[in-house]
Amino acid sequence: MVFDFEHLQSDLKHARSLEFQRRAAKAPSLNFTAIDPTEMVNALQSTLFPELPTSVRVDFVDGSFLGCINHTMSAATAHIWLHDILNRPATPAQVFRHILIHELIHLTVEPREVDQKVTDHPPEFWEIERRLSPERKQVWHWIWFQCWSLSATGKDGRTCDPSYPGMR
């Protein structure tokens, strides 16, 4: 029997995500933004992803990410979690638009193996993001400068990487 490390890693990631969801769902933050992210994701889904039958909910939480989606490819519902640092009236609508598009793309592009490693962001993911979110570079610059304290003091100890594929 061959040990399947990739599937184990995927299962552990999914288990962590479910545990985070369970804890975060108990205490989502109130929305203080100038736009309604749920209305925006519904509009984006109907115009950019009309084939998706998925119902999407958006909440703000204190997480270790700017945006994250929990779903299965066959599920009728998905939940997008946005970091509380974005939950303020000054956050531009373009930032939400980009992050929500990025998360919605996960509903259409399945993780797959690239260079002998399973990734949630294969090359076709980035191609779709570049096509649907031409403002991604400006958004990442805003995030980089406005959220520096989050990226510099993240729970994982890492800093924001300007070479992140979303910046290209």
Going by C-alpha positions, the residue among 147, 60, 67, 49 that lies closest to residue 105 is 49
- The pLDDT, as a whole number, for residue 44 is 97
Report the candidate in 147, 30, 134 with the shortest Cα–Cα distance to residue 86.
147
The answer to whether 86 and 33 have CB atoms below 8 angstroms apart is: yes
Decide which of 104 and 4 is more confident: 104
**In this structure, which amino acid lies at residue 143?**
I
- Ranges 15-19, 28-32, 159-163: which has the least confidence: 159-163
pLDDT classification of 158: cutoffs 50, 70, 90: very low
Average pLDDT over residues 58-83: 83
Side-chain half-sphere exposure of 88, counting CA atoms within 13 A: 7
* 94 — pLDDT class (breaks 50, 70, 90): very high
- Strand ranges inside 37-111, DSSP E: 55-61, 67-70, 77-83
Q: What pLDDT is stored for residue 126 in this prediction? A: 97
Report the SS3 class of residue 117: strand
Give strand ranges (E) for the chain: 55-61, 67-70, 77-83, 112-114, 117-119
| pLDDT-wise least confident of 2-16, 51-65, 114-128 | 2-16
Q: Is 100 exposed, middle or buried (0-12, 13-18, 19+ CB in 10 A)?
A: buried
Of 163 and 17, the structure prediction assigns the larger pLDDT to 17
17-21, 42-46, 149-153, 156-160: range with lowest mean pLDDT: 156-160
